[in-house]
């Protein structure tokens, strides 16, 4: 069950109104959860490429585990590349730099 950011902070014992930074251990745990989720998606046959990973598309359950969400732009990767997203697809500030070069026409695993 996803929670609001404020509720999550309270559950972790952090006052949402304080100026305390989010604990590094929690940040690293969430980053690990997202990385494991992406690794799982990329190991599937065919692999799934999310194409719009950003903080708003990461939900946190009541146990503090991050879950990747919003697969509306996701694509199955049937080849060694994925066609580039249309300029209006995805969130520009989170896109791989390769997405901005229309002459490439495709994205590799490195994107």
Residue 17 corresponds to which tokens in the numbers above? 């109104």
15 a catalytic residue:
no
Residue 62's closest CA among 6, 22, 8, 5? 8
Instruction: Give the active site residue among 11, 15, 33, 52.
Output: 52
C-alpha 79/C-alpha 21 separation (Å) is 42
- Residues with catalytic function: 52
């Amino acid at each position: 069950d996803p929670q609001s950011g404020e509720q999550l902070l309270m559950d972790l014992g952090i006052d949402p109104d304080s100026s305390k930074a989010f604990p590094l251990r929690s940040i690293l745990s969430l980053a690990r959860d997202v990385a494991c989720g992406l690794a799982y998606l990329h190991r599937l046959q065919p692999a799934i490429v999310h194409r719009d990973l950003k903080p708003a598309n990461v939900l946190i359950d009541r146990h503090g585990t991050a879950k990747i969400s919003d697969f509306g732009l996701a694509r199955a990767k049937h080849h060694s590349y994925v066609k580039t997203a249309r300029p209006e697809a995805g969130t520009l500030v989170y896109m791989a730099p390769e997405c901005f070069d229309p002459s490439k026409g495709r994205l590799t695993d490195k994107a």
